[in-house]
Structure 1
Amino acid sequence: MALIDKLKEEQKSAMKAKDKVRLGTIRLALSAIKQREVDERITLSDDEIVAVLTKMVKQRRDSVAQYEDAGRQDLADAELAEITVLEDFMPQPLTEDEVAELIKNAVEESGAAGMQDMGKVMALLKPQLQGRADMGKASGLVKAKLS
């Protein structure tokens, strides 16, 4: 089943269950996906939908940090609930060992010799890690490996 179809089915289920948080979050996700499709005049693939969901999760994590710094735990909890719903539609996260193995393989495959080759390594890693690992952490691991 395509990811967009899964989102729409879960939207129906959330409506029937009267789960307002889940329904609202799924509607936001579908809206973001539709907006990108309209803007770019394309139909998004599952990988591109995962990228949209990943961006939404990242935005919510940033919001949680800001709300907690401001002492607004109620708003932080709402964002965390949305993150939980969004993560249901994302692929299983990779373990640190799996990420390290992918980085090692990408460095070998690209023939990277130093920091100037970091872009080549990241270009190989991005499709494999998208939505499954934190790209910022992966970038730090690649830097450490190449330096």
Structure 2
Amino acid sequence: MSLLEQLTQDMVTAMKAKDKETLSVVRMLKAAVTNEQISLGHDLTSDDENAVLSREYKQRKESLAEFESAGRTDLVEKTQHELAVVEKYLPEQLTAEEITQIVQAAIEQSGAESMRDMGKVMGIVMPQVKGKADGKLVNETVKAALS
């Protein structure tokens, strides 16, 4: 089942359950996926779908941090609910240990020795973890391993 079909099915379920918050998030996700499909001009691959979902997740994560720092508890709760809904559609995320193992293998493969080689390592790691790990966490792991 494609992501669009899953989103449509979940949208109907949320409508029947009268769950307005979930319905709103599912509609936003469906719109984002459809817009991406239109802009690319073809059906989305699973990697394309994951990229859209990751982008939506990242936007909400950044919003959450802003709302927390501003003390907007009403928006914090809403954004946390949105994050939970988006997470349902994301592929399972890698643990910090798994990311560290991938980074170590990339360092050995590239022969990286210092922070100047960070680009080489990131170039090897990011395609492997695309959609499965937060880029910020990967970046921090690579920095820690090279310093």
TM-score by length of 1: 0.88
Inter-partner Cα distance in structure 1 for 2:118 and 2:3: 31
Give 1:37-76 correspondences, 5 Å limit: 37-76=37-76
Contact 1:64 1:76 (C-alpha < 8 Å) held by counterparts: yes
Distance 1:124 1:56, change over 3 A: same
Structure 1: stretches of 5+ with no match in the other structure: none
Aligned length: 147
Give 1:81-96 correspondences, 5 Å limit: 81-96=81-96
Q: Structure 1 stretch 73-82 or stretch 116-125: which is displaced more? A: 116-125
Inter-partner Cα distance in structure 1 for 2:19 and 2:110: 47
Distance 1:58 1:110, change over 3 A: same
Using the TM superposition, give the Cα deviation of residue 40 of structure 1 relative to its aligned residue in structure 2, in angstroms: 2.7
TM-score by length of 2: 0.88
Using the TM superposition, give the Cα deviation of residue 56 of structure 1 relative to its aligned residue in structure 2, in angstroms: 1.1
SS in 2 for 1:88: helix
Contact 2:115 2:143 (C-alpha < 8 Å) held by counterparts: yes
Using the TM superposition, give the Cα deviation of residue 143 of structure 1 relative to its aligned residue in structure 2, in angstroms: 2.1
Using the TM superposition, give the Cα deviation of residue 6 of structure 1 relative to its aligned residue in structure 2, in angstroms: 2.0
Alignment of 1:127 onto 2:134: no
Please provide the CA RMSD for this pair. Answer: 1.8
Give 1:127-146 correspondences, 5 Å limit: 127-146=127-146
Using the TM superposition, give the Cα deviation of residue 27 of structure 1 relative to its aligned residue in structure 2, in angstroms: 0.8
